[in-house]
Chains A and B, each alone.
Chain A
Amino acid sequence: AQKVTQAQTEISVVEKEDVTLDCVYETRDTTYYLFWYKQPPSGELVFLIRRNSFDEQNEISGRYSWNFQKSTSSFNFTITASQVVDSAVYFCALSEGGNTGTASKLTFGTGTRLQVML
């Protein structure tokens, strides 16, 4: 069975601080995909990134960066120089791979609520 653990329930930081959101996953599949989504108060999920299990390269997109380490089954997300607009709930998710490509059903973590204060 697949499982995603986000141990941090809530994090509060002051604007301009860096913050890392942790994600640890469990799966028996050798091919799988990892995702991060942002959910602002409106509720709509905002896609941030997808990573497949064969690509362990770290990725940077503006103030966002992701660290994927298969050895520790972790896929952590760092926001550099956080801003108030980053306040939201962030979900890490996992899907199995195989011939369905990147979009099988997702198993979500419990989410981390990030509050960025002035």
Chain B
Amino acid sequence: GAVVSQHPSRVICKSGTSVKIECRSLDFQATTMFWYRQFPKQSLMLMATSNEGSKATYEQGVEKDKFLINHASLTLSTLTVTSAHPEDSSFYICSARDTRSYEQYFGPGTRLTVT
């Protein structure tokens, strides 16, 4: 089956630093990827839709200058949390939509802790 990877799986960083999270589709091409955030014991909330070769579409309330998304190729999207603060600590999950089948596959998630 289709596989989506995320790197890193866990990251701890200091307040004020930036963290980059990668989302890769390993055996299919994904023109569109989605980034979700999940706070502890809460649901997944869509942050943004990442489109290859164009600007991401952010959901209401998500700061685009803080959460930078780059979808530079058909298999890779990156989410950079800039100037991270403890309130950004969360579980970030990406999903990738197969360009051919339109099926959507989730990555395993990245747990970010900002100290």
Contact B43 A111 (CB under 8 A): yes
Complex Cα spacing A47 to B10, Å: 22
Chain A proximity of B57: nearest CB distance (Å): 9
Given known A-B contacts A108-B44, A110-B42, A110-B43, A101 and B102 have beta carbons under 8 A apart: yes
Complex Cα spacing A101 to B103, Å: 8
Contact A45 B103 (CB under 8 A): no
Q: Tally B residues with Cβ within 8 Å of A.
A: 22
B46 at the interface (CB under 8 A from A): yes
Contact A105 B106 (CB under 8 A): no
Q: Which residues of A contact B108 (CB under 8 A)?
A: 42-44
Q: Which residues of A contact B43 (CB under 8 A)?
A: 91, 108-111
Contact B93 A103 (CB under 8 A): no
Q: Which residues of B contact A109 (CB under 8 A)?
A: 43
Given known A-B contacts A43-B108, A44-B109, A103 and B102 have beta carbons under 8 A apart: yes
Which one of A102, A106, A111 lies within 8 Å of B102 (CB-CB)? Answer: A102
User: What is the interface of chain A mostly: helix, strand, loop, or mixed?
Assistant: loop
Chain B proximity of A16: nearest CB distance (Å): 27
Chain A proximity of B2: nearest CB distance (Å): 11
Q: Tally A residues with Cβ within 8 Å of B.
A: 18
Chain B proximity of A37: nearest CB distance (Å): 8
CB nearest to B49 among chain A residues? A105
Q: Mark A90-118, 1 if CB is under 8 A from B, else 0.
A: 01000000001111011111110000000
Complex Cα spacing A66 to B56, Å: 35
Chain A proximity of B9: nearest CB distance (Å): 9
Residues of A30-54 contacting chain B, CB below 8 A: 37, 42-45, 47
Chain B proximity of A45: nearest CB distance (Å): 4
Q: Which residues of A contact B103 (CB under 8 A)?
A: 101-103
From B36, B43, B111, name the one whose CB has the most chain A CB atoms within 10 angstroms: B43
Interface residues of B (CB under 8 A from A): 32, 34, 36, 42-46, 49, 91, 93, 95, 97-98, 101-104, 106, 108-109, 111
Ranked 10 nearest A-B pairs via Cβ: A101-B102, A103-B104, A103-B97, A44-B108, A45-B106, A108-B44, A110-B43, A43-B109, A108-B43, A103-B102
